[in-house]
Structure formats: structure tokens, C-alpha cells
């Protein structure tokens, strides 16, 4: 067995100025640093609070990567606050930048985009109606009737008719 000897300099050679504390990066779980650029140090979000934009909880947590990840509970489920449907314009931003990363809580699940007022197609763009109907196919007939008597956007009417036909087609 080898013997290990520790050598320390005589006390007179140690200078107090040699003991200097340098500011170091904070260390997080697994030894990764929040400043390393690799991410992975922050905890995943477990909650989302409505707002324009909303916030993720706990503070400083990492949002889901995409709307699909949020919907799928990856890396974990996120609880909406409030649990009722969010009001007009409210959303949270996932790690995906721009409109593609926006998500809102309907009261029953996460959907892409910002919250839309009620169920009146006149208050929505064509794209918003399409997203809403994809999430709420049971409202397609109601939206079609409202659109025919309201704004009468022919492209939206055609899309709604095609949606209903496909939904109720022979495969269903």
C-alpha cells in the first residue's frame, strides 16, 4: 500500500491575499450550470397562469418545447390557472417562438393560439375558426349557420362544409 504525504508550506509563506474568492456560476442539479448555454438546469414548468402573455410556474421554469409537447404532457403535465377557459387574447408562449408556440387553455385542454372570444365566428379570423373547429368539431354546424347569415366569407363557408362532409363521411 502506498503512503500519501501531504506537504503544506510553512505558515510564514502563506499570505492572506492568496485566499481570494472568485464569483462562480451557480450550480444546479446534475452539476450543470444555468449559464452553460445547454439548458437542462431549470425545472420543467408544472403550471401556467393566464395572461397576455401568461406565465409558467414555478417562476424560472422551462416551458414545454412546443404546443404538441404541452398537449401531450411532455416532459410533464401542466396545470392551467384558472382551470376555466381563458378569456380573449390570453395565452402562454412555449419554447417555440412566435404564433406557432402560443397556447391557451379551453377549460378542457390545451390548444394552439390565443384564447378566442366565445363561439362567434364573426370575432375570429378564418384561421382562428379553423383551429377552433378542429378542436371543437361538434360546433361546425353552428359556425356554418352563423357564417352564412353573418360575414358570409365564401372560403370559410366552403371549408366548414368540407369539414362537416369529411367528418360525417362514409368512414365515420
121 versus 54: the higher-pLDDT residue is: 54
**Angle at 67 (CA atoms; ends 166, 92), nearest 5 degrees:** 125
60 versus 116: the higher-pLDDT residue is: 60
Domain identity same for 90 and 136: no
pLDDT digits (tens, 9 = 90+) for 43-64: 999 999 999 899 999 999 999 9
Q: Which of 60-74, 101-115, 156-170 has the lowest mean pLDDT?
A: 101-115
Assess if residue 65 is contained within a domain.
Answer: yes
pLDDT at position 62 is 96
Domain identity same for 108 and 128: no
Domain identity same for 96 and 152: no
pLDDT > 50? residue 32: no
- CA-to-CA dists, residue 108 to 38, 79, 91, 93, 138, angstroms: 34, 11, 15, 19, 14
- C-alpha cell belonging to residue 8: 503544506
Where does the pLDDT of residue 172 fall: very low under 50, low under 70, confident under 90, or very high at 90 and above?
low
The set of residues, in sequence order, having a beta carbon less than 8 Å from that of 48 and lying 6+ positions away, is 54, 55, 56, 57, 78, 79, 80, 81, 92, 105
79 versus 143: the higher-pLDDT residue is: 79
C-alpha to C-alpha distance for 102 and 81, rounded to whole angstroms: 16
| For the chain, the helix, strand and coil percentages under 3-state DSSP, each to the nearest 5 | 35, 15, 55
Domain interval for residue 141: 121-167
pTM for the model: 0.50
Would strands 92-93 and 102-105 be described as parallel, antiparallel, or unpaired? antiparallel
Work out how many domains the chain is built from and give that number: 2
Domain identity same for 96 and 150: no
Amino acid at each position: 500500500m502506498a503512503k500519501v504525504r501531504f506537504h503544506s508550506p510553512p505558515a510564514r509563506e502563506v499570505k492572506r491575499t492568496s485566499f481570494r474568492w472568485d464569483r462562480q456560476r451557480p450550480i444546479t442539479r446534475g452539476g450543470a450550470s444555468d449559464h452553460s448555454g445547454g439548458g437542462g438546469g431549470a425545472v420543467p414548468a408544472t403550471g401556467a397562469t393566464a395572461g397576455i402573455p401568461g406565465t409558467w410556474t414555478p417562476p424560472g421554469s422551462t416551458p414545454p418545447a412546443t404546443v404538441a409537447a404541452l398537449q401531450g404532457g411532455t416532459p410533464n403535465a401542466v396545470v392551467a390557472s384558472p382551470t376555466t377557459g381563458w378569456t380573449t387574447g390570453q395565452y402562454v408562449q412555449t419554447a417555440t417562438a412566435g404564433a406557432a408556440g402560443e397556447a391557451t387553455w379551453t377549460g378542457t385542454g390545451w390548444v394552439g393560439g390565443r384564447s378566442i372570444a366565445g363561439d362567434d365566428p364573426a370575432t375570429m379570423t378564418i384561421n382562428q375558426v379553423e383551429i377552433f373547429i378542429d378542436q371543437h368539431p361538434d360546433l361546425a354546424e353552428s359556425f356554418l349557420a352563423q357564417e352564412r347569415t353573418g360575414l358570409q366569407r365564401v372560403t370559410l363557408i366552403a371549408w366548414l362544409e368540407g369539414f362537416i362532409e369529411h367528418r360525417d363521411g362514409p368512414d365515420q
